[in-house]
Every structure is written in C-alpha cells, then in structure tokens.
C-alpha cells in the first residue's frame, strides 16, 4: 500500500471523510460513499467506536481502502492498525509517528499549514502532505501559490473543500482532496434520503476521475 499510495491517490482523487457519533450512521455514510464510487474512505479516530467501524468496513467493503484520521499519538496509530486501517491522516507532523506507520507499510499523511511545515513534513519522509485547514489559508489560491515554489510535493487539501470547488483544487495541482461535511448535507441526513446522497457523491467522484483522462 505504501509503495502504491501516490498512484492510488491519482487514480481515485477523492477521500470521503466520516466523523460520526453513531456507529450505524457511520456505516450508512461509508456504504453511501462506496455506492457512489468512492474507494478511499477515512473514518476519523475520534468517531464513536472508530475501531469497530473500521473493522466492520474492512469486511463489508473489500473493494474500498479504509483509513483513519485525527491520529494524534503512537497509541492511536497502533490501535488503528490493529483495527485494520490501510492509511492514516494526522492533523500535525510527528516524525516518530510517521516512521512507525511506515514500518507497518501504512501511508501516514501529516497535516501542515505553512511552507515551512510542508517542507519539514516532506523532508521528514511524508510521501504526501495534508494542507489543513485549507479554508483558513485562502482556499484554491493558496494551493496555487504553494505549488509554484514546491511543485514536487504532493498535496491534499482538507478542511473546507466542497462539492463546488473540489475540481478546482485538482486543477490547481492537488493530488487528491478530502471531503466531509458537504458529502452529507444536514437536510438529506434529516430526511434519511440516502439515494440522493449517493447520486451527489457519484457525480463528484466521476467528475474528479474524469479529470485523469
């Protein structure tokens, strides 16, 4: 997985991020993503019973890559690996955390804010760097500005990417994007309208994949 990580990201482009306080809702969101064609699914580690959810999804969605996010410590990482994760995200850069993940051949994508943080993470061994929270940094223009002096560093913007601007981030040079809240609108969740959510997810996933052609 670690050696193929960049290729997997370029192929699929979209990481569906799930943060849920309810195990059943978390499963429903994951299955909606899978039905919509999303193959990269991230369960944040601070979700309710994240380890159980990850273990279940590894069995229920064998055609998807199931990862986790909000990994803050080595204990978090080890427990998530025991649960079966195939990739990890953290909101920060920690050299020891990164090295431990790579020992297990698990891609770990650290979060960074400034050019210095991005360079530090990349030089420390990160294959990809999460730019987070992108909404606080200026959005698409920030990615364009960062890519100018640092075109060799693969970037994944998260924390403010929407259905409307996801393609713009890829056009600006991002290797992939992380989407969360906008994939599951509150109104559709309240109405239990999963079919419409699947249609919306399918549309954005296909748009992003088509950009590879």
Q: Which residues are catalytic?
A: 42, 130
Strand positions, DSSP E, 4-132: 14-18, 40-44, 65-69, 88-89, 108-109, 111-112, 129-131
Distance CA 150, CA 71 (A): 26
Query: Residue 4: CB partners within 8 Å, gap ≥ 6?
Result: none
Element (H, E) at 148: none
């Amino acid at each position: 997985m670690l050696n193929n990580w960049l290729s997997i990201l370029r192929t699929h482009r979209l990481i569906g991020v799930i943060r849920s306080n309810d195990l059943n809702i978390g499963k429903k969101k994951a299955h909606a993503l899978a039905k919509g064609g999303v193959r990269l699914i991230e369960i944040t580690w601070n979700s309710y019973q994240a380890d159980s959810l990850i273990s279940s999804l590894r069995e229920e969605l064998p055609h998807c890559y199931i990862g986790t996010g909000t990994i803050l410590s080595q204990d978090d990482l080890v427990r998530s690996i025991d649960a079966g994760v195939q990739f990890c995200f953290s909101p920060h850069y920690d050299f020891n955390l990164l090295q431990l993940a790579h020992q297990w051949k698990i891609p770990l994508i650290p979060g960074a804010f400034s050019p210095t943080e991005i360079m530090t993470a990349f030089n420390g061994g990160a294959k990809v760097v999460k730019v987070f929270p992108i909404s606080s940094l200026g959005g698409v223009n920030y990615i364009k500005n960062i890519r100018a002096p640092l075109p060799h560093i693969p970037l994944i913007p998260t924390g403010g990417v929407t259905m409307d601007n996801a393609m713009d981030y890829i056009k600006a040079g991002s290797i992939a994007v992380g989407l969360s809240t906008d994939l599951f609108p509150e109104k559709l969740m309240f109405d239990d309208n999963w079919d419409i959510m699947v249609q919306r997810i399918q549309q954005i996933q296909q748009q992003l994949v088509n950009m590879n052609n």
